[in-house]
Amino acid sequence: MSSDVLDIFLLALLAMFNPSLLAAVTVMMLLPSPKRLMFGYLLGAYTTSITLGLVIVFTLHGSDAASTSKHTISPLEDIVIGVLALMLAFVLRTGRDQPVRERRRRKKDAKLAEKRQAGKPTESLSLRMLGKGDPKVTFVVGMLLSFPGVSYLAALDKIHDVDPGAAGSVLLVVAFCLIQLMLLELPLLGYVFAPESTRDRIARFKSWTARSGRTAAVNAAGIIGLLLIFRGVVTLL
C-alpha cells in the first residue's frame, strides 16, 4: 500500500505542472485584488476536482467485481503505464517531440495572425474571463479548467486499487487536489502573510519554470515509470 501512496503523491506532483493553471495564476497576479481572484479560482478548482475525483473513485469501487484476475491485471497495468511514462520521459529528454511542438506553434501563430487581421481577441476565452477581475468569474473559470487530467485519472485508479475505505479514499482525493493546486495555494498564502516577498518569489519561480520545467517533467515521469515497473514485476514474481 505504501508504494501505491507514493505513486499517488508523485502523480500529484506531476499534475502540479499544469500550463493552464500557471497561465491563470500569472494573469490574476497582474490584476487588482489578486487575493480575491485567486481565492475564487481556488474554490472553483476544489469544487470540480474534489467532487469529480470522489465520484470517479466511488464509481470504480461500486463497479469492481472482486476476482482473482485483478491480482494479475493490476501489476500488468503498472508495467504498461510505467513503460509509457518512461517513453514520455525519453521523448521529452531527447527532444523528439520538437517537430510536433513546432507544428503546433506554427498553427497557433497562424491562427493568432488571422485573428489579429480580423480584429478578433487573441487570448483564450478563459483568460479573457479572468481579465474581468471578478472573483465570481474566476470561480467559474476554476471549475471549468479543473477537470481531471491524465495524471489525476491515473491517481484515481491507484486509489481504487489501494481501496483504503470510504474515509481513506476521501482523504487521498483531497490530498491529491491540494498538492496539484499548490501553484495557486502557495502564492495565495504568500499574498496573505508576506505580499512583497511573495511577488519576488513568484517571479523567480516563473523564471525557474521557463528554464527547468521540462527537466522536472522528465525526472518526474522517469521516477514514476521506474517505480511502477518495479512494483509490477515484484508483484508478478
Domain edges within the chain: 2-64+71-236
**Nearest Cα to 21, choosing from 153, 216, 185, 134?**
185
DSSP 3-state helix, strand, coil percentages of the chain (rounded to 5)?
A: 85, 0, 15
Query: Other C-beta atoms within 10 Å of 9: how many?
Result: 15
Helices (H), 119-194: 125-130, 135-144, 150-162, 165-180, 182-193
Distances (CA, A) of 149 to 15, 44, 154, 195, 230: 8, 16, 9, 31, 24
Phi, psi of 164 (to 5 degrees): -85, 5
Q: Which three cell numbers stand for residue 94?
A: 531527447
What pLDDT tens digit does each residue of the chain (237 aa) get?
Answer: 567 788 788 888 878 877 678 777 777 776 767 788 888 999 999 999 999 999 888 886 555 444 444 444 467 767 877 788 788 888 878 877 677 767 777 777 776 677 667 766 555 655 566 656 678 888 888 888 888 887 888 888 888 878 788 888 899 999 999 999 998 898 888 888 887 787 777 677 667 766 776 777 788 778 878 877 887 787 776
Q: Are 117 and 109 in contact (CB under 8 A)?
A: no
Determine if the pTM surpasses 0.75: no
Nearest-angstrom CA–CA distance, 96 and 100: 8
